[in-house]
Amino acid sequence: MWIAGAAKRIPAAGRPLGLRLGFALRPGMRVGLFGGSFNPAHDGHAHVAETALMRLRLDRVIWLVSPQNPLKSTAGTASLAARMASARSRARGPRMIVSDAESRLGSKYTIDILRVLKARFPGVRFVWIMGADNLASLHSWRGWAQIMREMPVAVIARPGAEVKSRFSPAARRFAFAKVPARAATRLAGRAPPAWVYLRAPLNFTSSTSLRARPPGAS
């Protein structure tokens, strides 16, 4: 059984391979971190990333492709290379970056990668991006309360997740830190905890439905 709890700190530099992340960030940049298995990536993921990019006025959105989600079985997870390629096919435009930084840095949990990237790029204004379906289950993540306190969080509406997400343990516990959607452009400059819930035209695509399609189905 997966038990959520506080996350222990890993070395700030991560593994030596993490010295080469494949991207560079400058102090003062506003950067969204969008993590997931992307198994496979789909237009719903692109919708979340693009909504955050525009509504938060970000300079970059980094798609952090997880080597393996601790909450999901390895049996149904495609290779990291395949999922990286899938994410690249959906991350459109020069301000979207697809990265295997979690694998390079040796981080197993989201809280690890957030802390390491903050240490690696001081002065960058990071925002963690997630779909509303992830907010609904955030309380099952290791160090979930620490994630909310580590950097501002942007939650993008997803089909069927609004009620569960808005009344989830994470939303209730951090209700005091919620900022109105009209203030989303200033989220990256806020001290955490701070989070915003953004509604946008919904995209109903999901990785689960894509994996269930017969081979060759359009």
CB-CB contact of 6 with 93 (8 Å): no
- pLDDT tens-digit series, residues 28-66: 999 999 999 999 999 999 999 999 999 999 999 999 999
Place of tokens 């700030």: 12
Compute the average pLDDT of residues 133-143: 94
The pLDDT value recorded for residue 69 is 63
Q: What are phi and psi of 27, to 5 degrees?
A: -55, 140
Rounded Cα distance between 32 and 153, Å, is: 9
Distance CA 202, CA 84 (A): 24
Q: What is the pLDDT of residues 112-126, one digit of tens each?
A: 999 999 999 999 999
Residue type at 39 in one-letter notation: N
- Separation CA 2–CA 122 (nearest Å): 33
pLDDT tens-place string over residues 176-192: 999 999 999 999 999 99
* Spatial contact of 129 and 156, defined as CB atoms under 8 Å apart: yes
Do 35 and 64 meet the contact criterion of CB atoms below 8 Å apart?
Answer: yes
| Domain residue extents for the chain | 26-202
Fold annotation for 26-202: Rossmann fold (3.40.50)
- With a pLDDT cut of 90, the percent of the chain lying above it is 68
Q: Is 19 exposed, middle or buried (0-12, 13-18, 19+ CB in 10 A)?
A: exposed
Residue 209 burial by CB count (10 A; 0-12/13-18/19+): exposed, middle or buried?
exposed
* Residue 200: band (very low, low, confident or very high) from pLDDT cuts 50, 70, 90: confident
pLDDT in tens, 64-87: 999 876 656 666 789 999 999 999
**Is the predicted pLDDT of residue 4 greater than 90, yes or no?**
no
Among 92-101, 147-156, 201-210, the least confident range: 201-210
In this predicted structure, what is the pLDDT of residue 53? 97
